[in-house]
Structure 1
Amino acid sequence: MRTVHAGETIDKSRFNLFHLLLIFWGFFIILVDGYDVVIYGSIVPSLIEEWSISSVTAGAIGSYTVMGTVVGAVFFGYLADKVGRKKIILFCTALFSLFTALSGVAGGPVLFTVFRVISGIGLGGVMPNVIALTTEYAPKKIRSAMISFVFCGYSVGAIAAALASRAILPEFGWRPIFWIAGLPLLVLPFIAKAIPESAVFLLEKGKNEEVKQILKKVNPELSLNGETRLERTEAPEQGSTIVKLFEKKRGFSTLMFWISCFSCFVLIYSMNTWLPKLMIQAGYSLSSSLLFVAMMNVGAIVGTIAFGPLTDKLGFKKVMIPLYVCGAIALASIGLTQNAVLAYILIGFIGASSVGVQNISNAMVSQYYPPSMRSSGVGASMAFGRLGGIFAPTFVGILLTMNLPAQMNFSLIAIAAVVGAIAIAFVQEKHAHYGMAGEGQPEEKRAV
């Protein structure tokens, strides 16, 4: 009887239509995630005016929404390791699409917040599972680059949100901007048909024939018949996947990932929620401030595409730490200039060192843990990181009520980038799962 190792087959596969479809739909789902996050920041000035709420209340609404993403990341990250990643991706996509669209019909801040929290639960659940599924099926040579590219969708969605807000707000108000986010409901059947279930999950459930069909798509030249036996090169670790994150000397690095992710989300949510307001405070118009949001996410895309593939050659630390440092310098400098061109460049650096670093960090975390706990590992990291997303909108809202100079506000936010760099520096890569980018581990030890 011939034996085929599923993990090795995927690792050695060549990029083909199967991978392209996985990237396309993963990119699309994350694009809507990015759109959802940024539209709130774009319409905050409108909500403050229409509903007569304070900056602190507006910041709190943003924080409540992120609380939902924390719940979603933990719960659905854990559940996916039990019931399958594909099911969770489809359910969470439907959940956040529906309730983001419903937010556009809310008549007041209370109902609006309820809809935003529920959509946040879906958003929090979908991201770690898209990361885990992409990691599992990406060819080894381009794994980090493929994951990072998928998460460029976040920045494209953020740009789309900024541009849509700039075009729609003056003529039609803020509500249609939310209705656009319901579009994924229309393409959900296509997503269900295109993306596969986790091979690791299917093997654990004894569904070998389904895995064979997937492997034929991964490698069309692979010959599989009824007598072919599928094996994993590594047995799944038993017990609670959350507890396992702290075993086998992984605990300290798990905490460092959480701190880094927290820092990244402080940067991301500070900027995406309050950048228009901060730039208005610095002397720019609302229209110009929305373009700064777009520019920040252009920087995130450029940073991810330019630096993400480097992690496959240099390792994660040598890429992420310098990006964090550059981001801190850019944030501390943005309030010192009135030159619009220089301000756009600095905002681009901030995008690369916040969203861009988080995109690269997703690839790092997903490869650090064994496949049996991958969704839980990424979900827990992002859940803790989202606490930074809860903290940041309210924190910056309070800063704005203190009437501090613009430079001081940006400098205080920059502290998060310094903390993130320190945390990544202390990650112990020697205890990582086999196959991390830049680690040079033997290929035969790599599992699905």
Structure 2
Amino acid sequence: MNSVNVAKMIDESKFNRFHGVVLFWCAFTIIFDGYDLVIYGSVLPSLMEEWSLTPNQAGTLGSVALIGMMLGALIFGPLADKMGRKNVILFCIALFSLFTGLIGISNGPVEFGIYRFIAGLGLGGVMPNAIALMTEYSPKSLKSTLVSIMFSGYSVGGMIAAGLAIILLGQFGWRSLFFVGALPLILLPLMYKTLPESPRFLLMRNESNKIGQLLTKVNPAFTYRENQTFELMKTEEAGAPIIKLFKNGRALSTIMFWVSFFMCLLMIYGLNTWLPKLMDGAGLSVSGLMFLLVLNFGAIFGAIFGGRLADKWNPKSVLLVFFILAAVSLTLLGWVTNIILLYVLVAIAGATTIGTQIICNAYISQYYPTEMRSSGLGWALGIGRLGAIAGPIIGGILLTMSLPFYQNFLVFAIPGIIGALALCFVQEKYSSSKATEKYLTEESLTSDVK
């Protein structure tokens, strides 16, 4: 009996209800990741007033969760390659939901920081695994699009945080926003029942029945027969997943991915933490929280539109354009005073910073083979979190220096140029997608000969 190539069947499938369920749950987890991204920037003025925090202290406190996210990505990314993506995703959701809720009862900056750090571990761990799982179950023609749609939940979460802050801050105080962040705990049982496990992990455990059942959902035309055998690829590379990131010509690309992630996350977290404060300090008549809403609205458009472009053309080329547009829009933000143009530039900045990160995630999830996919994403996001940590700290330093308005945004524009330069050195000839195409072509030729 011929073995069924699981990866090939998923690649050739058409989007259906099963894909929709995976998309929904992965997007659901990312929504709360985005919620956490914006929530701190939304409550920051209230915290600074209540606890008499200086800008430097506020920037450092904002980076505590990001340190947790960095460690969470570095730990839970590789762990999922060994223990299964679903198990790690569920654990990480429970972790960040519980401790985000506990932040609402914290009595001071130290307790606040401890809870944020632990919540950050879960947030950092869930992201690479949600992306990897979505990539594994996406049809080949829609991989970048579906991952980008899923990750637009990041911006939806940011918009929810900014919108709720406008509604709840005045009436219920900043603590109410963190209680909202605990809501995913309620849906964990349903998620456990309906979210599928990684096909590679099921193959590792020889759970052919579960794989067969999943494939009938992926492709309703497929009929599973008892004792049927399955495979992903003929061979897997030997060694630990982290070591594999630097093997077979991938070393330079891995380092360049890390640099581009660092720069992109620096822009994202610096803007989402300090944009309201910077805009309020500029003497504008509009609330800084409105700019957060516009920033994340633009990110949704950038993610979906950019993801579709990446599927049609080359993801690397799309990312280069987005990085350059991010640098240009942020530079212009410091010079424009017309409120309409400011909104337009902030939307473009959101589309090309948060949107760029989303497309980067989709790109890197296709670059590495499936057995190291979570490790590749986890380490890129983990190292990138150093940029996320630096962003709020740099913003705090800038405010204490009382620089001219345009110079604040120029500092956040420079990483866009560096990120674009780093991506230029990514070597696509060593990517997993190229290897898969070669393998499937050889397999097809072999079948024709037979």
* TM-score normalised by structure 1 residue count: 0.97
Q: Which residue of 2 aligns with 1:168?
A: 168
1:137 aligns with 2:137: yes
Give the corresponding residue for 2:47: 47
**Corresponding position: 1:126 with 2:126:** yes
Give the Cα separation in 1 of the matches to 2:271 and 2:176. Answer: 23
What value does the CA root-mean-square deviation take over the aligned residues? 1.4
Match of 2:13 in 1: 13
Counterpart position of 1:198: 198
1:148-183, Cα deviation, whole Å (9 max, x unpaired):
110000000000100100111111110001100111
Q: Which residue of 2 aligns with 1:289?
A: 288
Evaluate the alpha carbon distance shift between residue 341 and residue 262 of structure 1 in structure 2; reply closer, same or farther with a 3 A threshold: same
Match in the other structure for 1:420: 419
Cα contact 2:33–2:123 (8 A) shared by 1: yes
1:224 counterpart = 2:224:
yes
Q: Indicate the residue corresponding to 1:110 in structure 2.
A: 110
Matching of residue 77 in structure 1 with residue 80 in structure 2: no
Cα distance in 2 for residues equivalent to 1:12 and 1:355: 30
Letter in 2 for 1:419: I
Q: Which residue of 2 aligns with 1:344?
A: 343
| 1:369 aligned onto 2:368 | yes
Question: Alpha carbons of 1:289 and 1:440: their partners in 2 closer, same or farther (altered >3 Å)?
Answer: farther
Who is 2:263 aligned against? Answer: 263
Question: Following the alignment from structure 1 to structure 2, what is the Cα–Cα distance between the partners of residues 440 and 56?
Answer: 50
Q: Secondary structure at the match of 2:224?
A: coil
**Is 1:234 aligned to residue 220 of structure 2?**
no
Q: Please, which runs of 5 or more residues in structure 1 have no aligned partner?
A: none
In structure 2, C-alpha distance between the alignment counterparts of 1:305 and 1:405, rounded to whole Å: 35
Shift, 1:219, TM fit: 1.1
Q: How far, CA to CA, are the matches of 1:119 and 1:169 in structure 2? A: 22
Instruction: Return the offset for 1:440.
Output: 7.2
One-letter code of the match for 2:300? I
1:229-280 deviations in whole A, cap 9, x for unaligned?
2122232222111111001010000001000000110011001111101111
Tell me, in whole angstroms, the C-alpha distance in 2 between the residues paired with 1:145 and 1:441.
23
Is the 8 Å Cα contact of residues 327 and 416 (structure 2) preserved in structure 1? yes
| CA separation of 1:205 and 1:84: change in aligned 2, threshold 3 A | same
Contact kept? 1:8, 1:444, Cα under 8 Å: no
Using the TM superposition, give the Cα deviation of residue 224 of structure 1 relative to its aligned residue in structure 2, in angstroms: 1.3
How many residues were matched structurally?
443
SS at the partner of 1:434? helix
Deviation digits for residues 181-219 of structure 1 (CA, Å, limit 9, x no counterpart): 111000111111121111111112212121111111111
Give the direction of change, closer, same or farther, for the CA distance of 1:73–1:445 in structure 2 (3 Å limit): farther
Q: Is the 8 A contact 2:30 2:127 kept in 1?
A: yes
Q: Deviations over 1:11-61 (max 9, x none)?
A: 111111100011111111100110011000111110000001111001001
Question: Kindly, what percent of the aligned residue pairs are identical?
Answer: 47
Q: State the secondary structure of the residue aligned to 1:239.
A: coil
**Offset at residue 87 of structure 1 (A):** 0.2
5 Å matches for 1:400-415?
A: 400-415=399-414
Change (3 A) 1:445 1:281: farther
Q: Report the residue type matching 1:338 in the other structure.
A: T
Is contact 2:11–2:140 with CA below 8 Å preserved after alignment? yes
**Counterpart contact for 2:69–2:122, Cα < 8 Å:** yes
The answer to whether the Cα contact below 8 Å between 1:233 and 1:445 also exists between their aligned partners in 2 is no
Cα distance in 1, alignment partners of residues 440 and 343 from structure 2: 43
Deviation of 1:445 (Å): 6.6
The match for 2:66 is: 66
Contact 1:70–1:386 (8 Å) recurs in 2: yes
Cα distance, 1:305 vs structure 2 = 1.2
Residue aligning to 2:22: 22
Structure 1 position 288, deviation (Å): 1.9
Deviates more, 1:229-238 or 1:6-15: 229-238
1:158 paired residue number: 158
8 Å Cα contact 1:297/1:348 also seen in 2: yes
**1:213 aligned partner:** 213
CA-to-partner distance for each residue in 1:82-124, whole Å, 9 max, x for gaps? 1100000000001101101110110100000000000000000
Deviation at 1:307, TM superposition (A): 1.6
